[in-house]
C-alpha cells in the first residue's frame, strides 16, 4: 500500500479549520514522528486516512494511506499549509 506523506516542513505557515472556519496557527516550529508544534504553541498529532484513489497509469483504483495532522485534545481541527483566516458564511 502506498503512503502519501504530509508536505509540511519547519518554517511553513499553517492554519487549522473545522466546518468552514479557518484560523492562522503560526509557523511550524517542530515536527517529530507523531507531533507538530507551531511557534504560537499549537500542537497537532499525525493521523492516517486510508482511501482509494484512481491511478491514471494503471487505469485502476489503488489503496493509499494519506497523512494529515489534527489538534491534540479533541482532534476536531485539521491542519493545512498556508495562511488562511475565514469564517463560514452560513452561520
Distance between CA atoms of 77 and 87, rounded to whole angstroms? 14
Handedness of CA 37, 42, 45, 49 (dihedral sign): negative
The count of residues in the chain is: 91
In tens, the pLDDT along 1-57 reads 788 899 999 999 999 999 989 999 999 999 999 999 999 999 999 999 999 888 888
Domain extent, residue 17, equals 2-81
Query: How many structural domains are present in the chain?
Result: 1
Q: Is residue 45 part of a domain?
A: yes
Which residues, including other chains, have CB under 8 Å from residue 33's CB and lie 6 or more apart?
46
Closest CA to 18 of 83, 85, 77, 73: 77
Res. 91 pLDDT band, cuts 50 70 90: low
Q: Is residue 86 part of a domain?
A: no
Check pLDDT > 80 for residue 72.
Answer: yes
pLDDT of residue 75: 84
Q: Is residue 87 part of a domain?
A: no
pLDDT of residue 89: 80
Amino acid at each position: 500500500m502506498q503512503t502519501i506523506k504530509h508536505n509540511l516542513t519547519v518554517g511553513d505557515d499553517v492554519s487549522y479549520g473545522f466546518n468552514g472556519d479557518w484560523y492562522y496557527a503560526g509557523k511550524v516550529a517542530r515536527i517529530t514522528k507523531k507531533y507538530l508544534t507551531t511557534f504560537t504553541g499549537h500542537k497537532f498529532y499525525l493521523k492516517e486516512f486510508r482511501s482509494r484513489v484512481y491511478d491514471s497509469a494503471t487505469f485502476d483504483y489503488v489503496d493509499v494511506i494519506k497523512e494529515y495532522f489534527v489538534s491534540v485534545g479533541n482532534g476536531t481541527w485539521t491542519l493545512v499549509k498556508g495562511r488562511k483566516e475565514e469564517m463560514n458564511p452560513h452561520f
